[in-house]
Amino acid sequence: MSKILVAGAGKSSTYLIHYLLSHASRNKWQITVADGNADAIAEKIQKHPHAKMAVIDITDASQRQKLVEEADIVVSLMPPHLHIHLAKDCLQFKKNLITSSYISPEMKEMHQAVKDAGLMFMCEMGLDPGIDHMTANQIIHSIQRVTATITSFKSYCGGLVAPENDDNPWHYKFSWNPRNIITAGLGGAKFLQNNKIVEVPYEHIFENNKKIKVNGLGSLAYYPNRDSLRYLDLYDVPDIKTFIRATLRYPDFCKGWQAIINLGLTSETDTFDTTDVTYAQWLGNKTGYKTSAQSLVEYIAEKLNIQPTDKIISMLQWLGLFDGTLLKQGQFSSADIMLDLLQSKWAMGPTEKDMVVMQHEVEYLHRNQKTTLLSTMVIKGDDREFSAMAKTVGLPMGILARMILAKTIDPPKGVLIPSMPAVYRPVLNELKHHGIVFTEEII
């Protein structure tokens, strides 16, 4: 009996666990789901005969290592900073590892040791990063096979609320880890545009508000995502002049979130004693509001250099930032306060649907003729639990784990992303059977 350790039972784990359990009986698998939250595990495994609970503190080596040692493969959906614990154990006990997160500097340093041990640590095997790498490289390799020269590559992806459940002025609801929204763009961004490296600091990430059109959805805004340049060598596009990876949101979201940043409301370094403090008082305190000559609304509008009647002000009012509602009591940073507020305001109802949109725009020259290829995926979730985000993050990981255990894929060695045909071809082919399909058009 093969044993699979799944670390993490959060929002994005639903489809991963469901997929593995659906294959468990015929393959004689035992799936152990480890998390600190017993209720979250129980909800995911539903007393399945091939599933086992492990309620552990993932940072506790004695609890964690026993599970890793017993497993044949480890699949991690833990928060990014916790993958390294599992990675070190997997190296020690000679286990292959699959994660959905970006390769951290610590993980990257393990590449040679992992390779020498004959192991595969496949990172960035989710949605974005993950499906974007696989589909991008599939397109790039197919273009290169006809000896065309790729001059521009733009990749956009976003987890959004489905139009039928879009009922707030931010046009957004949580379908994955809420904390990641608060910290989005925190490290700034870097990309290549017309042969020039462009660096955008966190303070300006959302302000450009450039747009793309997606069939059936109209205009979506995008902001640059992290350091795109780190993928230039991995994607092997030597003649590229423009290369950017970006995150999609609705335009109003970007304008509103830039205001939140400008007001300092995402800071993780400040501290407030929130005892008997209202949202309005916190906002005034945070932004230096002291005068009674103008209202808090007028003061914030002036600080943002907009009119009190501007839509951004009404978006902030909808969040309740000008209200007399008491904050959660304790010592908290601005980021903590915003997170607590948004978890109630942007919560997705049990029957509501999310939507994932991904689009690649690739320009290439073939026989001196310029061509632009658009490859687009739009997928909606079934409900809050079986979301499009959980599906697109979890299924690629589950499919790769199954294929490795079935020995239909010979696992490549080292700390990697899924850019190689031996991985992306079979995984993308199976994803089509689950409705994760891209449509291509030449424009």
Structural tokens at position 399:
């499919």
Q: What is the CATH number of domain 131-254+349-380?
A: 3.30.360.10
Q: How many residues does the chain have?
A: 443
Structural tokens at position 246:
């970006």
Report the topology of domain 2-126+387-436.
Answer: Rossmann fold (3.40.50)
Encode the chain (443 residues) as per-residue pLDDT tens digits: 899 999 999 989 999 999 999 999 999 999 999 999 999 999 999 999 999 999 999 999 999 999 999 999 999 999 888 999 999 999 999 999 999 999 999 999 999 999 999 999 999 999 999 999 999 999 999 999 998 899 999 999 999 999 999 999 999 999 888 888 898 888 899 999 999 999 999 999 998 779 999 988 999 999 999 999 999 989 999 999 999 999 999 999 999 999 999 999 999 999 999 999 999 999 999 999 987 789 999 999 999 999 999 999 999 999 999 999 999 999 999 999 999 999 999 999 999 999 999 999 999 999 889 999 999 999 999 999 999 999 999 999 999 999 999 999 999 999 999 999 999 999 999 999 999 999 999 98
Structural tokens at position 85:
């614990």
Domain positions in the chain are 2-126+387-436, 131-254+349-380, 271-332
414 forms bridges with which residues in the sheet? Answer: 120
By C-alpha distance, which of 369, 323, 435, 409 is closest to 147? 369
Query: Would the CATH topology of 2-126+387-436 be identical to that of 131-254+349-380?
Result: no
Cα distance between residue 277 and residue 281, in whole Å:
6
DSSP for 61-123, please give it: HHHHHHHHHH-SEEEE-S-GGGHHHHHHHHHHHT-EEEESSPPPHHHHTTHHHHHHTT-EEE-
Cα distance between residue 102 and residue 180, in whole Å:
13
